[in-house]
Amino acid sequence: MSMTLQTKKMHELYEECKRIGISETSDVIEEAQSAEEAEFFAKAFDIILQQKQKNVVAEKRF
């Protein structure tokens, strides 16, 4: 199944968010061009962090 251009862009955004380290998130949020953009980034990073935490718990690495 072929991805649409929009789906491909969203997938690339997801992968990029996963690559950004926890220490870099505050920089990205501070450099947002608007409050709305900063909120979007914060929520995206929250979701990625939740997924990472879920994996740690599932793998019993705590």
pLDDT (tens digit, 9 = 90+) per residue, 3-36?
899 999 999 999 999 999 889 999 999 999 999 9
pLDDT at 22: 86
- Degrees (nearest 5) of the Cα angle 58, 61, 62? 105
Overall pTM surpassing 0.85 (yes/no): no
Q: What is the domain range of residue 19?
A: 5-58
pLDDT at 37: 97
For 7: left if phi > 0, alpha if psi spans -120 to 50, otherwise beta; the answer is alpha
Q: Tell me the C-alpha distance between 6 and 11, whole Å.
A: 9
pLDDT at 38: 97
**Total number of domains constituting the chain:** 1
